[in-house]
Copies of this chain bind each other. A is one copy, B any other.
Amino acid sequence: MSLQGLMMDVPLTISSIIRHAAKYHADTEIVARTIEGDLFRYDYGRAYARIQRLASAITGQLGARPGDRVGSLAWNTHRQFEMFYGVSGTGAVLHTINPRLFPDQLVYIINHAEDRFLFVDALTLPLAEQIAPRLGTVEAFVMMSDRAHMPASTTLPRLLCYEDLLDAAEPAYDWPVLDERSASTICYTSGTTGNPKGVVYSHRSAVLVTMMYLGFVTMKADNGARQTLMPMAPMFHGNAWQFPYLAPMTGSRLVLPGRNYEPDKLYELLEGEKVTLTCGVPTFWLIILDWLKRTGNRFTTLRASLSSGSSVPRSLMETMERDYGVQIMQAWGMTEVLAGSSPMAPPGSAELSFEQRIDARMKSGNAVWGVEYRLVDDAGHELPQDGKSYGHLRIRAPWAASAYFKNEGGSAVDGQGWMQTGDIASISPAGQILLTDRSKDVIKSGGEWISSIEIENIAIGHPAVMQAAVIGVSHPKWQERPLLVVVARDGHQVSPEELLAFLKGKIADWWMPDDAVVIDALPMTGTGKVHKLTLRERFKDYVLPGLR
């Protein structure tokens, strides 16, 4: 029989984070761009006062009980930040919803989550009006604005005003002591096949994964340096890399970009608000870099940007670091895994050359304490982590999903309790993780795997290529062979022959696509990824050159 420790049983809960910030970093600033476009400024002290009122309103006027789902269809504003604490802290569950999803998907997930309330902002209100007749559980809608910005009229049956709710709420709120394993947030996967599935984060998982990032905040900072965090990633997507938790936990300033992602507006915040650390998909950086080059602007405080979601073009990473002093740090995560790897370079790599450091950062991050990794072949046999073997990536972590809401799609884990990430990866002995493909998109040629992502990353380096996708096309002898599909940049033209010549020598000969085609647009998902299933469907009868 084991002996129990005699330490305090203090649960890891999200409300503890904002209570800490309000108490000891009360004057630390939060700057948020409103939906209307101006900048709203307050601090953790004043935010907390409003969060308490929000919690009172959620549980009082709205009558949300522990476990009830409260939907938020909104962009990165200060009110969305308040929802992260004012909803989850009460024991109710914040359902963060991506406004870029198609209406059918929105209807499905809101009904599936059984959201009792749906919070919207001025930009998502029309979407809510469009789908409202098909929503079965929503009792009231709340407009995240003040009275002055409420719409003159609406087709919604019951639309409340966020600021009115706060004004009428009890100013004090006693946070309940929650089980740390209780649900804090639901986020639906944007599966490219089947229905979206709900990942139910617990307070424990959110707190632990935020703690894991503590080292990221102080990196490159002198002891006592002020850090300012701005999530460019949307807060409806995996909690925006925990930035809304990480900033108050560390007493860092927080900047929220609202909805305006124009490069000049992002720059105005990044530079004007002295942001030191940010996060977002590579697309933001492609757009911002282009704008920087045109305008000659520089960064004086920005040090690093976490990047995830898709791979970063090498030239972008090189230019941002060499010319602008900003490290683009890749890590891997997914809705089901709040952080799959660390963006931090492995200890000792600071001594490497610039080229070698970029090489290292072109990987998908590094093995981090808290996550266990396993690579398996199609038959489930474990493969070595030697940096050469590619296999299905399986993980275990306190911040990884074990199942989906209402058991949709069965368990998320295999028979041994490992989560099936759906990714193909290699892992080096030093823990460098390289994701090479989604399992379902990998091209199987003569019994070997060809990584579509690696070929795409090279193709995107061609100056005339804006987007690239590589898919498998059936082949009588090899089972599948790769086909390169590209979209050209505006005003550029490129031939299949040029594309294939560009790849030649950069990848193994047997990985060379059998053909290339240039099309007008790639089918995209609501989260900005190429919908390869649709693309494969479109090219399923494509006859490769050697077979014509």
B-contacting residues of A (Cβ < 8 Å)? 1-10, 12, 16-17, 19-20, 23-26, 28, 65-67, 69, 91, 93, 178-179, 181-184, 199-205, 208, 211-212, 214-227, 249-253, 304, 327, 329, 344-352, 357, 360, 366-367, 369-370, 372, 385, 396-405, 412-413, 417, 419, 429-431
When the two chains form their complex, are residues B66 and A224 in contact, meaning their CB atoms are under 8 A apart?
no
> Do A7 and B396 contact each other (CB < 8 Å), given the known contacts A20-B369, A251-B347?
no
Nearest B residue to A430, CB-CB:
B24
What are 6 of the A-B contact pairs (CB < 8 Å)?
A: A5-B201, A6-B412, A7-B200, A8-B400, A20-B369, A251-B347
Q: Residues of B contacting A401 with CB < 8 Å?
A: 6-8
When the two chains form their complex, are residues B327 and A223 in contact, meaning their CB atoms are under 8 A apart?
yes
Q: Which of B222, B249, B329, B399 contacts A7 (CB under 8 A)? A: B399
Q: What CA separation (Å) do A179 and B7 show in the bound complex?
A: 13
When the two chains form their complex, are residues B8 and A396 in contact, meaning their CB atoms are under 8 A apart?
yes
> Do A222 and B8 contact each other (CB < 8 Å), given the known contacts A3-B183, A23-B367?
no
Q: What CA separation (Å) do A6 and B401 show in the bound complex?
A: 6
When the two chains form their complex, are residues B67 and A2 in contact, meaning their CB atoms are under 8 A apart?
yes
Nearest B residue to A1, CB-CB:
B67
Q: Which of B3, B352, B360, B369 contacts A182 (CB under 8 A)? A: B3
Q: Which of B28, B216, B351, B367 contacts A218 (CB under 8 A)? A: B216
Q: Residues of B contacting A329 with CB < 8 Å?
A: 223
When the two chains form their complex, are residues B6 and A431 in contact, meaning their CB atoms are under 8 A apart?
no
Q: Which of B5, B12, B350 contacts A225 (CB under 8 A)? A: B350
When the two chains form their complex, are residues A7 and B201 in contact, meaning their CB atoms are under 8 A apart?
yes
Q: Residues of B contacting A204 with CB < 8 Å?
A: 5, 7
Chain B CB within 10 Å, residue with most, of A201, A369, A396, A398: A369
Other 10 A-B pairs with CB < 8 A, given A4-B183, A211-B211, A224-B344: A1-B67, A3-B67, A5-B182, A5-B200, A7-B402, A16-B370, A218-B218, A224-B346, A224-B357, A252-B347
